[in-house]
Amino acid sequence: MAHVVKFKMHSLQAFISVATLLAMSFASAAALAHTNDYLDTQKAPHGGQLRMAGVYHFELVVAKDSKGATNNPVMVYVTDHAGAKIQTAGTSGTVTILSGTERTTANLAPDGDNRLKGSAKYTSAPDLKAIVSIALPGKTSEQARFTPLAIPMEKHDEHMH
């Protein structure tokens, strides 16, 4: 009888240990995930806006000074969560840009190292929104939403004086 009690206690302790380890693994994975608010506080390497897309970070760079709807470059840089470059050879993608009542979609093609490039007709405006969809070779498509020209609110603007 004493052996049965010891076995049950040992099994319970093992179950609790495994459950604790699993919970810690999921918690640490969630802690590594970056929110858009957090990414907006980070300086993007190419002056664009950073967003999470599955296991990747996408940095969208658009023209900041296009007064009218003209053909402008669009670039997306792909990195992992640590900022290491992800090679884009063989990658396909699109970017859909919404600015005011204008909507345009551009194809993105590999353009060296970790960059994809395309061009689209858009106006640089604070209300510009973009949806980037990229499929790396052998992977499912990942998507991210951007507001690359939105004027960030200063922390002190949140408080009444």
CB 85 within 8 A of CB 98: no
pLDDT tens sequence across 34-47: 788 888 888 899 99
Q: How far apart are alpha carbons 14 and 133 in whole angstroms? A: 44
CB 70 within 8 A of CB 95: no
DSSP, collapsed to helix, strand or coil, labels residue 77 as strand
CA 55 to each of CA 26, 59, 157, 161: distance values in angstroms, whole numbers, following the listed order: 15, 14, 33, 41
What is the model's pLDDT at position 153?
Answer: 54
Tell me the pTM: 0.74
Closest CA to 129 of 161, 154, 156, 105: 105
Domain parsing of the chain, residue ranges: 1-32, 36-150
What is the model's pLDDT at position 37?
Answer: 86
DSSP, collapsed to helix, strand or coil, labels residue 96 as strand
Q: What is the CA angle 80-58-46, rounded to 5?
A: 100
Q: What is the mean pLDDT of the chain?
A: 82
Q: How far apart are alpha carbons 87 and 133 in whole angstroms? A: 16
Q: How far apart are alpha carbons 90 and 128 in whole angstroms? A: 28
Q: How far apart are alpha carbons 98 and 104 in whole angstroms? A: 7
pLDDT reading at 78 higher than 60: yes
pLDDT tens sequence across 58-70: 999 999 999 888 8
pLDDT tens sequence across 105-151: 999 999 999 999 999 999 999 999 999 999 999 999 999 999 999 87
What is the model's pLDDT at position 84?
Answer: 96
What is the model's pLDDT at position 36?
Answer: 82
DSSP state of 55: T
- The CATH homologous superfamily of the domain defined by 36-150: Macroglobulin (MG2) domain (2.60.40.1930)
